[in-house]
Amino acid sequence: MWAAAPLLLLLPLLLLPLARLCRRGAARLEPAGRAVLITGCDSGFGHLLALRLHRLGFTVFAGCLCPGGDGARRLQREAGGAGRLRVLQLDVTRARDVRAAKELVLSHLPERGFWGLVNNAGISTFGETGWLPMETYEKFADVNLLGSIRTTLAFLPLLRKYKGRIVFMSSIIAYFTLGNGIYSMTKAAIEKFCDALRLEMKKFGVQVCIIQPGNYARSTKIQPPLSAEEIWSELSEEEKAVYNKEYIQERANFFNSILSEGSANGNEVVDAMVDALTSPAPKARYMVAKLKEKVLVFVCALFPTVVMDSVLSYALSK
């Protein structure tokens, strides 16, 4: 087996041109009569994707944390009221919400059935490891990781039946972290879950895709800026004895500057999500990022850890 390893490594490179020709030549999916469920549609990518898929002709179930909130109401207005876009209550941390969402989808399935699940819901924050209490780690794992798994397991029978698609929202932060290890941790975990699921679902004709955006903080508003005072007030007495307010201010300025540099064009990411749902040969991973972000991923993947640590330590020091 291991003697054939070099050939196995070369095989994808040899098949890549053929795969690209197939992607160009095959017909794209016909959306009419197919249903897609999206989580996290109150704002950000989920909101944009729900509207885009609705315009394309899909029947869209838009899961919102606050179905009576401004984001959900705006979504309904922009979609033109009732019809093929239906807003529903969906907190991915609550099993009863997921069950109710499945029942609603089953009772309103269009003629071609359930085509896609988009696990988009997520939360983010920054802070060094000891700054965040255990309750915050549990909350992030429940929303970003277990929430996606919980929803996927519920809809897997439907996806197998209709040979549909599952799309997961990851991030380039799955490869490295710049002070937001709690978010990076959950995205790295979801990548491994997807890798296992993608291989297992091939025999059923279900395709699994991962979206890896770069910094789109201005588009999604997933992480609001935090002041040094807000961070300081949440620290335990033990952490306050280690860090001073000047250091906290420096870190807050650094993190907030990263947020302000994020792209405001969320439609770039939505384009990738639409391709994952409609392409005859979708990619396993869609990285939507700036060149410098892709370079960081490249360095992280191919160079020794000490090199990446040096690069990130330099960035943090600046």
- Annotated active-site positions, please? 183
Which residues have C-beta within 8 Å of that of residue 244, sequence separation ≥ 6?
none
Q: Are 242 and 318 in contact (CB under 8 A)?
A: no
- Which whole-number Å values give the CA distances from 5 to 10, 12, 15, 72, 182, in the listed order? 9, 12, 16, 51, 35
Q: Phi, psi at residue 242, to the nearest 5°?
A: -95, -45
Residues 6+ apart with CB under 8 A from 238: 130
- Alpha carbon 186 to its chain's center: 10
Q: Output the CA angle 112-117-118, nearest 5 degrees.
A: 135
DSSP 62: E
Residues counted in the chain = 318
> Which 3-state string (H, E, C) describes 148-184?
HHHHHHHHHHHHHHHCCEEEEECCHHHCCCCCCHHHH
